[in-house]
Amino acid sequence: MTVTTVTSNRTAPATGGTPALVVVAHGSRDPRALRTVRALLDRVRALRPALPVHLGHVELNEPLLPDTLAALGDAAAVLVPLLLGRGYHVKRDIPEMAALSPARTRVAAPLGPHPLLVDALHARLTETGWPTHPGPDHAVVLASAGSRDPESRADTARTAALLAARLGVPVVPAYASAATPTVPEAVRTLRARGYRHVAVASCFTAPGRFATQCATQAPWITSAPLGTHPSMAHLLLHRYDEAVKTGSDSKAKALATP
């Protein structure tokens, strides 16, 4: 997965202070989503108190990303998508908004796939009743938002494979929109194969319409959205650090070029 993408003609310098972390959330009409995201950012600030941490949304909630970037002026910033795979927002919307801002920006990779994401998924399943030693009739549907972008679906499939390796049971990716199979279709497929205990793992960053929809389609247990799980805060910082390091390495190589 690409770690970072330069999004403007002004690359962040190697010196001159720590780049700000701008967490880029999608936005939701569900008020629980904004509360959850703000609480997650509080966890990030607690882990790294000296780091300036800001929030921007692609749509639906304030502050919108362009407003957050405008308030930073020409400061350096790393934008970390609070999104779980590649897709239109990561590849087009966020870079285009960043390129129009005065800030010197770099866009980090989305949160998934990554082992820290799997840590959070596993923990949420355990919280909701997933057994320590699942039987041969246990399986999981990994429910995510969905996208028409094949790279986004590949990222979800990779996350499902990592979770399957962790749990030792089959994990089938499914989608709330824009892609197939749906959660009910994935459940039917697994039950046709003899899996009687099919859990739904919510691969959503916060409560919202899609998470609620997928939960109602679960035949057994459904895990809560990933929300403020500690691994999510660590993963945001990990993506930030990757982007900062890549930017520093690129600057060093440029300076070393004769």
Give the strands of the sheet with 197-202, arranged side by side. Answer: 171-175, 138-144, 197-202
Per the listing, tokens 């407003």 go with 67
DSSP structure class, residue 39? H
Q: Please tell me which residue in 26, 57, 122, 229 is annotated as part of the active site.
A: 26
According to DSSP H, which parts of the chain are helical? Answer: 31-47, 65-72, 88, 94-99, 115-127, 150-167, 183-192, 209-216, 230-256
Interatomic CA distance for residues 96 and 91, integer angstroms:
9
Whether 225 contacts 206, CB under 8 Å: yes
> Is 26 marked active-site?
yes
Instruction: Please name the amino acid found at residue 63.
Output: P
SS3 string, 70-121, reads HHHCCCEEEEEECCCCCCHHHHHHHHHHHHCCCCEEEEECCCCCCHHHHHHH
Whether 144 contacts 183, CB under 8 Å: no
- Smallest CA-to-CA distance from 217 within 203, 204, 198 is with 198
Instruction: Please name the amino acid found at residue 82.
Output: L
Active site residues: 26
